[in-house]
Copies of this chain bind each other. A is one copy, B any other.
Amino acid sequence: MEQTKILLDENEMPKQWYNILPDLPTPVEPPLNPETKEPIKPEELESIFPKSLIEQEMSSDNYIDIPEEIRDIYKLWRPSPLHRAHRLEELLDTPAKIYYKNEGVSPAGSHKPNTSIAQVYYNMKEGNERVTTETGAGQWGSALSLACNYFDLECKVYMVRSSFEQKPFRKSLINLWGATVIPSPSKETKFGQQFLEQYPDTTGSLGIAISEAIEDASENDNTKYALGSVLNHVMLHQTVIGLESQKQLEKVDEYPDIVIGCCGGGSNLAGISFPYIKDKINKKHDPEIIGVEPSACPTLTEGSFKYDSGDTAMMTPLLKMYTLGHDFVPPSIHSGGLRYHGCSPIISRLYDDGLMKGRNYHQVEIFDSAVKFARTEGIVPAPESSHAIKCAMDEATKCRETGEEKTILFNLSGHGHFDMSAYDKYFNKKLGNE
């Protein structure tokens, strides 16, 4: 059998992130102050973000150095392996070649530490002592806790109440790395208190948790807020995924015809695809780029491209993005990481400009694909990542029909070790088909 995994040595890990902003054919529109509706000034963001991240958010540099302290932590698990899915190809009887980047090898089990490590590093450099954030199923909360552990910052995670109660083990991970996690809405913020008075039985939402984390960061000294997706600097940090994959594919003399990532806020899709979109913009190559969403939360595929707020309390700057509306409450599908009403402004722009395509799938077909993947490649995939798997399988199946020998690359954004209850429901036929 040909090579199964393509590895890079630590010294082959990228030394810079790729910033797509200056390459965009249409520039992204600026974030607006939610009260004045005027473009926000960098200094207005300084109450919640460190200056270096605000600079990155608006940078016109094409490449940004990855500081050595960040690279040293990345090396605990990076470069992540690129796998050739021989057994999945055999199952599908396809002439296509399927490759996947395995971001599940990080300590937190997903691609999220690529940006949490960077964000906490810059906070540490600027003397901040504490960061706050929200988390849904807990992928981002655990990644931020891991990062704060390394740079010795305090970390407070507002976790959507329904997940806090139903998904105890990512909460345990957050505790293990030393952060504090409380259910949201909480009594510890004014917004949380108000919300609880009005809706005492609420199970919470990501939008509410964001509002609480931002309020906490704004009102406490030396405290900043950290967001795990959507913003430009988050997309930037994730490009290490795609840059590594390019070096790995070069080693086997391949270039992808199709690049696939699941898409919630957009960070793992950005990570795997932006370096390929650069080639597309520069007319060096013309890969098809596909963002895959749950049918239950079809932001790109069925939302509108307009200015909207990132949170329920409308505390965040207004972002021009694909959105289902900041008051949209998606059904409680198991892909908690894809249940966000909005999408990265850069990805929204690329989608609107036709540089990316979108697709959405229902929950049961996602788990059908996840099980086929686990039984061929061995790895138990996260439900979120299984959206990318399903799309890759569909594309490979098309190749069987057309005879095309396409090279397909997808990002396996994380493992599903903390999602086994969802697999149980699938096998017991108790999984809703939202």
Interface residues of A (CB under 8 A from B): 1, 3-5, 7, 9-10, 72, 75-77, 83, 105-107, 109, 146, 149, 168-169, 172-173, 175-178, 371, 374-375, 377-380, 417-418, 420-421, 423-424, 427
Contact = CB atoms under 8 A, between A and B. Distances in A.
B75 A4 contact: yes
B9 A173 contact: no
A177 B10 contact: no
Given A107-B379, A417-B417, A423 B172 contact: yes
A107 B176 contact: no
Contacts of A172: 420-421, 423-424, 427
A76 B177 contact: no
Contacts of A168: 420-421, 424
Q: Enumerate the 8 nearest inter-chain pairs by beta-carbon distance, A residue then B residue, closest first.
A: A107-B378, A417-B417, A172-B420, A169-B420, A4-B75, A1-B72, A76-B378, A172-B424
Contact of A378 (B146, B374, B418, B421): B146
Contacts of A10: 3-5
Which of A7, A420, A424 gathers the greatest number of chain B CB atoms within 10 Å?
A: A420
A139 to B, nearest CB: 13
A95 B29 CA distance: 54
Contacts of A83: 76
Contact of A176 (B1, B173, B380): B380
A380 B173 contact: yes
A105 B379 CA distance: 10
A107 B105 CA distance: 11
A417 B75 contact: no
Given A109-B417, A423-B176, A7 B9 contact: yes
A429 to B, nearest CB: 13
A149 B375 contact: yes
Contacts of A418: 417
Contacts of A75: 1, 4-5
30 contacts: A3-B10, A4-B76, A5-B76, A76-B83, A76-B377, A76-B378, A77-B378, A107-B378, A107-B380, A109-B417, A146-B378, A168-B420, A168-B421, A169-B420, A169-B421, A172-B420, A172-B421, A172-B424, A172-B427, A173-B380, A173-B420, A175-B424, A176-B374, A176-B375, A176-B420, A176-B423, A177-B374, A178-B375, A417-B417, A417-B418
Contacts of A106: 378
A412 to B, nearest CB: 13
Contacts of A417: 109, 169, 417-418
